[in-house]
Amino acid sequence: MKPITTMNTLRPKNAVHLSRSVTDRRTLLALALALAAQGASADSPALNPYLAQSYNNQSHLNDGATNSVDFAVQRGHYALTPQSAEVIPNESFSGPLVMDKVGGKDVYWWWSGFGLRKLVDEQGKLVEVAHTQAPVTLPNYQTVTPQQRREQALAVQKFLDAGDEKGLLTYLKAQPNRLISMAEDQVAAGALYTLLGRDDTFYSGSGRRFFRIAQKDPQDPKSTMTQMHTVIFPESLFDNEKVARGTRFKGDMIFGMGMSYNGYVVANTLGGKVITLNRDTLEIIDTFSVAGDQELFLNSFATGPEANNGAVYVASNSNMYRLVVDKDGKIHSDEASGAWKAPYDRGVMMGAPKIADGTGSTPALMGFGANDDKLVVITDGAKKMRLVAFWRDQIPQGWKQRPGTLSPRIADQHVVDMGEGIETVQSEQGVATSGNYAFVVNNIPNKQVTPLDHSLAFANLTNGATRPGPRGAAAFQWQQDSHSWQQKWSRDDVSSVSVVPLISGPSHMAIIDGYFANKWNDRYTIGMDLDTGKSVLTIRKGSDPSYNGFYAVVKVDTKGRIMHGNAFGLARLDTDKMEKVEAPDAALNTAANR
């Protein structure tokens, strides 16, 4: 066990888990299946018996990809102190962070760029207890030390503070660990989406490989981990030409992943394949292919217990699908099996951080109570995107297709209005859902300026820092009686560049990582009340890029501490140790009802 080097240079509550004392696999499975039948709560998806029994067992937290938690995050206005923030250096951009409770301890598995780190909390500090390294095959890639990573963050900060984009670009291109392409490298050779399976087996994929890393003793929170067990997917599953023609990527690759409720690992590819695998051997069982020659999968997907525990909700850039995985791992797309397909407006190509046309969001599920409308939700590809809800199970008897929609499967769609003067509204982030609330952000700057470089890293670091970032956040509420969306509010004074937002249900708050529009290059964590839009949480983080969430998902631990990966490490923010301050002026701006 070794303490982790942390980066603390700064500028100016309890989750429910299944007990780990339940060691008998059959008992655990029976208990989990019972919970799956009930649902973990009225606002949450059912627990998947083949995954860690945790609120955060995959990239979008849970099988429903709701990006929400059922415990509180503290409200208030804060400034960082050296004791309140940790940043653990990484090898390259790192987003995935999952957790479980083992032996009474919260244990975190963090994909740190090109390896898996296992962390526990010891006296308020994150401590690394195990590490499995992945082979790195990127050309001209050289590992740097934790101290060098901190120096890189400080160097980038200086360029941002000076507004020197040319200097920043030259610096990023010159770094031995390929900073300029760190986001693309993680898609191609690192890990973007992850799963934490039963017994805390870690699953992920990248490029054309899929892998699993097991715990040598699943009952020991400080157990070491096995070496990576890897399979390489055959060339026949990939279509480089199709992906290069339709996206910003040069070739096809594994992208999203999940676990069906009947125990099969599921993965998709950019080029339009969905694949099932044996969760123990990673043997490929079956493959589904989209029919369209321009159809691509650009996000991960949700899974659910519908269709005899085999439902997979995956959106291409033109269609929303429910595929069905049967008890033998075979994939079905026919109505007789409970599958369906519904078109939506794919829209047009836009600039970074959008990858291509169509939806930028992983489908999120809504409606888990007995009397709730059962929905799956995305944003579409229109220039001013719509929030689109599909009936995820049976379409109500007598239902008539709504005017302006492309399918009777669409329960409702609502234009996301961020205010006057914001003509383009698009997102590359998942919709956050909790109860009957949904929250979305805009990722496209209102005034598009030709960038010096089209890399995702350059766009992420400069938007909101050296140039104005995208503006806009909005909350919606689903109306059960009318089966329709109501936009509660929108704000045009907040900016979320590229980080997936989070909802805390008990705190009634949506949380983003970004900026106030009158405080560029001064980063904040901002929490907004779901009903009023008012800023009820602010944490000022300054211009240090170590606190730039950088395409990660905002997450919290069981004590309400905010955590996310980023370009330079893993950040954890503890409001209990912060300085309480007056609300920033911008936080007093309440949302406009539209």
For residues 494 and 515, is the Cβ–Cβ distance under 8 A?
yes
Q: Which residues contact 444 (CB under 8 A, 6 or more apart)?
A: 350, 351, 354, 424, 425, 426, 470
pLDDT at 187: 82
> Which position has the token pair 């350059």?
458
Cis peptide bond prior to 501, omega within 30° of 0: no
**Helical residues (DSSP H) of 359-512, grouped into ranges:** 456-462
| Dihedral (CA of 406, 407, 408, 411) sign | negative
pLDDT at 589: 57
Give the span between the Cα atoms of 167 and 160, in whole angstroms. Answer: 9
3-state DSSP assignment of residue 385: coil
For the stretch 317-334, pLDDT in tens is: 999 999 999 999 999 999
For the stretch 231-245, pLDDT in tens is: 999 999 999 999 999
pLDDT at 10: 39
Q: pLDDT: is 191 or 325 the higher one?
A: 325
% the chain with pLDDT above 90? 82
Q: Find the Cα–Cα–Cα–Cα dihedral 465, 470, 471, 475, rounded to 10°.
A: -120
Greatest distance between any 2 Cα atoms in the chain: 64
Q: Which of 546, 442, 447, 449 is nearest to 498 (CA)?
A: 442
**How far, in Å, are 147, 448, 464 from residue 151 at the CA level?**
6, 31, 22
pLDDT at 433: 98
- Detail the DSSP E strand segments found in 480-573: 484-491, 494-495, 502-504, 509-516, 523-529, 535-542, 555-556, 562-565, 569-573
For residues 363 and 357, is the Cβ–Cβ distance under 8 A?
no
> Which position has the token pair 């409308």?
373
pLDDT at 355: 80
For residues 462 and 165, is the Cβ–Cβ distance under 8 A?
yes
For residues 203 and 211, is the Cβ–Cβ distance under 8 A?
yes
First-last CA distance in the chain: 54
Give the span between the Cα atoms of 335 and 393, in whole angstroms. Answer: 11
For the stretch 456-470, pLDDT in tens is: 899 999 999 999 999
Averaged confidence pLDDT in the chain: 90
Q: Residue 29, by phi and psi: left (phi above 0), alpha (psi -120 to 50) or beta?
A: alpha
Q: Which two tokens stand for residue 223?
A: 């157990």
- Detail the DSSP E strand segments found in 308-371: 311-316, 319-325, 331-332, 340-343, 364-366
**How far, in Å, are 47, 168, 551, 562 from residue 582 at the CA level?**
40, 34, 29, 20
Q: Which two tokens stand for residue 153?
A: 């963050």
pLDDT at 592: 56
Give the span between the Cα atoms of 217 and 28, in whole angstroms. Answer: 17
Q: pLDDT: is 35 or 572 the higher one?
A: 572
pLDDT at 8: 40
Mean pLDDT value of segment 465-482: 96
Q: How many residues does the chain have?
A: 594
pLDDT at 587: 58
Give the span between the Cα atoms of 387 and 431, in whole angstroms. Answer: 9
Q: Which of 298, 300, 330, 324 is nearest to 312 (CA)?
A: 324
Mean pLDDT value of segment 363-371: 96
For the stretch 95-149, pLDDT in tens is: 899 999 999 999 999 999 899 999 999 988 999 999 999 888 899 999 999 999 9
Mean pLDDT value of segment 379-383: 96
The DSSP code for 215 is B
For residues 361 and 379, is the Cβ–Cβ distance under 8 A?
yes
Reported confidence tier of residue 593, pLDDT bands at 50, 70, 90: low
For residues 70 and 505, is the Cβ–Cβ distance under 8 A?
yes
Reported confidence tier of residue 449, pLDDT bands at 50, 70, 90: confident
For the stretch 49-97, pLDDT in tens is: 999 999 999 999 999 999 999 999 999 999 999 999 999 999 999 989 9
Strand partners, 166: none
pLDDT at 245: 92
For residues 364 and 431, is the Cβ–Cβ distance under 8 A?
yes
Distant-in-sequence contacts of 323-327, Cβ < 8 A, 24+ apart = 323/274, 323/288, 325/260, 325/262, 325/264, 325/266, 325/276, 326/262, 327/262
Per-residue pLDDT at 162 exceeds 70: yes
Q: Find the Cα–Cα–Cα–Cα dihedral 518, 552, 40, 320, rounded to 10°.
A: 90
% the chain with pLDDT above 70? 91
3-state DSSP assignment of residue 92: coil
Give the span between the Cα atoms of 275 and 283, in whole angstroms. Answer: 10
The DSSP code for 154 is H
pLDDT at 189: 84
The DSSP code for 153 is H
Give the span between the Cα atoms of 135 and 63, in whole angstroms. Answer: 29
Reported confidence tier of residue 43, pLDDT bands at 50, 70, 90: confident
Per-residue pLDDT at 586 exceeds 70: no
**How far, in Å, are 94, 348, 356 from residue 245 at the CA level?**
27, 14, 10
> Which position has the token pair 């003509």?
423
2-128+139-588: CATH superfamily = YVTN repeat-like/Quinoprotein amine dehydrogenase (2.130.10.10)
Per-residue pLDDT at 302 exceeds 80: yes
For residues 312 and 300, is the Cβ–Cβ distance under 8 A?
no
Strand partners, 98: 109
Per-residue pLDDT at 188 exceeds 90: no
Give the span between the Cα atoms of 75 and 83, in whole angstroms. Answer: 19
pLDDT at 28: 38
Amino acid at 357: D
Distant-in-sequence contacts of 224-228, Cβ < 8 A, 24+ apart = 224/129, 224/130, 225/116, 225/118, 225/130, 225/131, 225/132, 226/132, 227/132, 228/132, 228/134
